[in-house]
Amino acid sequence: MGRLVIIEDVEVLKLRLEKALEDNGIIGFDTICNHQVRTLRSNIVFKEALLVIIDLDNQDLDLKVAVETIREHSFQNNIPIMVLSGNSDLTTLNRAIALGCTDFILKPFSNETFIRKVVLNLSKMDPSQIKIGKEARVQHEEEGIHMLKWNTAFEIGVQSIDDDHKKIIEHFEKLYLLMKSGQGHAYYPEFLAFLEDYVDTHFEREEALQREIEYDGYDEHLHLHNEFKLKIKELISAHGTEEATNNDLIRINLFIKDWLIHHILLTDNKIGLFISAKKRSHQAASTD
């Protein structure tokens, strides 16, 4: 039977993650400490793992060794490796991606976010082997708001797309600063209006580029765009004419931050890599 494996040294967080899994009917999991990663027990555990969760903030954690050990002993090809981190530095996250990690959650996070990510990653493997309750009993926990600034790590190498990404991150930064000064409620409708226009103009530009270069991940990318559009429509519809609440501001901050980091770093970055690979291929062909 497939398992979910957590690598966690902090007892409080370990107990919290285990309880969140149990409360939501996910019963097939094991928890090990960092120093157990290369032991016989962990090697046995990794063989049946369908998903591994690693806390990057574990002391003395060698992420490269951990990922290599997981890949070496897992029976599953391309097993998802999700990392938890209190460090929003894009260099750290890019390094984790380069080493083979496939998803991440920034601290602080709610149990709802954690469970959603777990279920999403398990669905990529064989979720039928993990017992998940029909109705997830997630507990909402207040999360802190987060800052995010433009960084060259976001660049995919296409000027028009990079400019669009820079624009939404600048608006996100403005939202954050206004929230910190207590003025975010007044800016909320303007931010929603920007997002409504953005999902049409930017997504159309990005999708046109993908069709032009015959990008092999177009269909999957289009699906992600459509999901994001639906979420924005839901936010706009739910807002109506009422003033935004503190929960509205926190919710949209976390939602957009999660989208920006995951979509640009993990998804849009693949477009840049695809374009670079095609250029190298054409250059090699022209020299033959």
Q: Is residue 169 part of a domain?
A: yes
Distance, CA of 173 to CA of 113 (rounded, Å): 22
Sign of CA pseudo-dihedral 41, 74, 129, 219? positive
Residue 255 structure tokens: 């939602």
**Rounded to the nearest 5°, which phi and psi values hold at 80?**
-65, 135
Q: Could you tell me the residue range of the domain that residue 19 belongs to? A: 3-129
User: In the predicted model, what is the mean pLDDT of residues 48-67?
Assistant: 87
Q: What's residue 166's pLDDT?
A: 92
Radius of gyration of the chain (CA): 20
Helix (H) or strand (E) holding 121: helix 111-122
Domain count, the chain: 2
> Three-state SS for 62?
coil
Q: Are residues 160 and 125 in the same domain?
A: no
CB contact at 8 A, 76 and 50: yes
Return the higher-pLDDT residue of 150 and 186: 186
Given a cut of 60, is residue 47 above it in pLDDT? yes
Return the higher-pLDDT residue of 25 and 171: 171
- Helices in 213-267 by DSSP H: which ranges? 218-239, 246-259
**174-223 confidence digits (pLDDT tens):** 998 898 888 889 999 999 999 999 988 999 999 999 999 999 999 999 99
Q: Is residue 147 part of a domain?
A: no
Given a cut of 80, is residue 38 above it in pLDDT? no
Q: Are residues 49 and 84 in the same domain?
A: yes
Q: What's residue 146's pLDDT?
A: 62
Q: Is residue 279 part of a domain?
A: yes
Q: Are residues 189 and 278 in the same domain?
A: yes
User: In the predicted model, what is the mean pLDDT of residues 269-286?
Assistant: 84
Amino acid at 49: A
**84-112 confidence digits (pLDDT tens):** 988 766 777 778 888 888 888 888 788 88
Q: Are residues 22 and 93 in the same domain?
A: yes
Q: Are residues 84 and 178 in the same domain?
A: no
Q: What's residue 143's pLDDT?
A: 45
Q: Are residues 15 and 122 in the same domain?
A: yes
Return the higher-pLDDT residue of 81 and 1: 81
Distance, CA of 162 to CA of 210 (rounded, Å): 14
Write down the pTM of the prediction.
0.62
Q: What's residue 126's pLDDT?
A: 57
Q: Are residues 163 and 271 in the same domain?
A: yes
Q: What's residue 195's pLDDT?
A: 92
Q: Are residues 157 and 281 in the same domain?
A: yes
User: In the predicted model, what is the mean pLDDT of residues 2-26?
Assistant: 88
Across all residues in the chain, what is the average pLDDT? 82
Q: What's residue 41's pLDDT?
A: 65
Distance, CA of 1 to CA of 220 (rounded, Å): 29
Q: Are residues 109 and 186 in the same domain?
A: no
Q: What's residue 137's pLDDT?
A: 39
Given a cut of 70, is residue 132 above it in pLDDT? no
Q: Are residues 168 and 219 in the same domain?
A: yes
Task: Assign residue 40 the CATH number of its domain.
Answer: 3.40.50.2300
Q: How confident is the model at residue 142 (pLDDT cuts 50, 70, 90)?
A: very low
Return the higher-pLDDT residue of 76 and 234: 234
